[in-house]
Structure 1
Amino acid sequence: MKEYEIKLEDIQRILLGEVPFHFFVEVILRTAAIYLILMVSMRLMGKRMSSQLSRNEMAAVASLAAAVGVPLMNPDRGLLPAVVIAGVIISLQMLIAWIATKNIKFEAATQDKYNMLIKDGMLNVQAMALTRITQDRVLAQLRSESISHLGMVKRLYFEAGGSFSLLKMNTPIPGLSSIPKWDQEMSERIHSLTEQELCAWCGSYKPGRNATKCNNCKKDVWVYAVRNHKDANR
């Protein structure tokens, strides 16, 4: 389109573009066909496509979206190439999934491995650095699981699919509070302070009265561990 052909008062061009009006009927048919292709493709690739997606599955979904998006609004592009591309993507995804069930190393290479973010009430700083998970993100996850301090957690795993798995302590120990510092009212309502000092960042117990740095994360800020009122009364 030439520059002189662009006019702000050309409402028909702004709303309809350069295609004839009857193309919008075709768009409806194309949309229905594309939707059917996507539904069939997702069904053939398995139930996991409607749950937590792995890297391969996410790549497959993105590829499908890119393939079917072109013929959806482009009148000079047919639907058959999108069907062929969808078939190739489905075949590759099914092949990768089949090989992954037979070969553990291949599964680890394509799906990644899980990481342990909390061990025995203490943050695993190496795993957090590797996965680029922040302390705030971990504490937020604990709060979503109704965990008010790290001493309640035996293990927190960061799964290969991006989800979290939590194992609780049978008997909670004093730990670092997961309640935000600004919500002191809530912390006082459910927590009682102990005499045990620990690292304000990772929850590692202070190794000695004269210790200056945490052995786990090398930070030098200490706070008192907390426990829930109901645990303190046991």
Structure 2
Amino acid sequence: MKPEEIHLSDWMRILVGQVPGSFYIEAVFRLVFIYLLLVTSMRLMGNRMGKTLTRNEIIAMVSLAAGGGVALMAPDRGLLPVVIISAIVVVYQRTIAWLAFRNKRFESAVLDDMSILVKDGRMQLDKLEEGVLCREQLFAQLRHGGIGNMGMVQRAYHEANGNFSVLTFSDGKPRPGLSLVPVSDQEFRQEQRKADGQFACAGCGHLQPSSHMPYVSCSRCNHKEWEPAVLG
């Protein structure tokens, strides 16, 4: 449209556009066609497309949506290009899945790999940085699993699909560790049982035996802030 043809008072153009009324009937057909095409494409790409997705699978879904969006709204665009785009995306996704199944190195390079965020009650800060994660995101995931302190965690993994999985120590013994209760909830923090003679680094969860609050930097991460270790 030319600039002089655009007027804010032209409500018919704003609401209806510049297409004949018959196009809205055609749009219903286009919508049904593209919907069925997307459902078929996602089924061909496997059951993974109905669950938590990896970055590669998200890219495939966005590509499918982008390919069908223009044809749905523009009367001068045909549906055949949408079919071609969908076929390319499906073939690409199935090829990636086939290669990843047969080559672990290729799978790690293309689909990413899991990383260990917590080992034996201590955070792996380099892995948090690689995953662009902050401590509070990790703490929230651990609290969601009913874990009250970092010492209970034997391993915490950040999976390739973005999910978290946590393994606690199997012996069931109470272990001291950094409290996972938010600082803003001081009332609940006070209810947690303190571990006598143990302090936890607020930066990584490393434990430091001491009869008083340590004034030295953490030997693992050089963080200078310490908290009383808790058991619950």
Identity over aligned pairs, percent: 44
Q: What secondary structure is seen at the aligned counterpart in 2 of 1:206? A: strand
Superposed CA offset, 1:155-212 (max 9, x none): 10001111111001232311111111110112233x1112211212211012667661
Show the counterpart of 1:221. 225
Q: C-alpha separation between the residues in 1 aligned to 2:209 and 2:221?
A: 13
Q: C-alpha separation between the residues in 1 aligned to 2:4 and 2:225?
A: 67
> Which is further off, 158-167 or 197-206?
197-206
Question: Match of 2:194, as an amino acid?
Answer: L
Counterparts of 1:125-136 in structure 2 under 5 Å? 125-136=125-136
Give the 3 Å change call, closer, same or farther, for CA 7–19 of structure 1 in structure 2. Answer: same
* Pick aligned residue for 1:173 from 161, 172, 175: 175
Give the superposition deviation at 1:127. Answer: 1.1
Q: C-alpha separation between the residues in 2 aligned to 1:104 and 1:2?
A: 55
Show the counterpart of 2:151. 151
Superposed CA offset, 1:1-34 (max 9, x none): 2333222222211111111111111111111111
Unaligned runs of 5+ in 1: 229-234
* Pick aligned residue for 2:184 from 147, 166, 182: 182
Show the counterpart of 1:113. 113
* Pick aligned residue for 1:212 from 185, 198, 216: 216
Q: C-alpha separation between the residues in 2 aligned to 1:186 and 1:158?
A: 28
Q: C-alpha separation between the residues in 2 aligned to 1:105 and 1:221?
A: 40
Q: C-alpha separation between the residues in 1 aligned to 2:35 and 2:19?
A: 22
Q: C-alpha separation between the residues in 1 aligned to 2:210 and 2:88?
A: 62
Question: Match of 2:207, as an amino acid?
Answer: Y
Counterparts of 1:81-120 in structure 2 under 5 Å? 81-120=81-120
Q: C-alpha separation between the residues in 2 aligned to 1:16 and 1:211?
A: 70
Q: Is the 8 A contact 2:115 2:158 kept in 1?
A: yes
Q: Is the 8 A contact 2:202 2:226 kept in 1?
A: yes
Q: What secondary structure is seen at the aligned counterpart in 1 of 2:166? A: strand
Show the counterpart of 1:232. none
TM superposition score normalised by structure 2: 0.93
Show the counterpart of 2:55. 55
Show the counterpart of 1:193. 194
Question: Match of 2:47, as an amino acid?
Answer: K
**Paired positions, count:** 227
Unaligned runs of 5+ in 2: none
Superposed CA offset, 1:42-87 (max 9, x none): 0000000010111221111111111111101010110011001101
Q: Is the 8 A contact 1:148 1:178 kept in 2?
A: yes
Q: What secondary structure is seen at the aligned counterpart in 2 of 1:39? A: helix
Q: Please provide the CA RMSD for this pair.
A: 1.5
Q: C-alpha separation between the residues in 1 aligned to 2:184 and 2:2?
A: 59
Q: Is the 8 A contact 1:119 1:156 kept in 2?
A: yes
Question: Match of 2:19, as an amino acid?
Answer: V
TM superposition score normalised by structure 1: 0.92
Give the 3 Å change call, closer, same or farther, for CA 130–3 of structure 1 in structure 2. Answer: closer
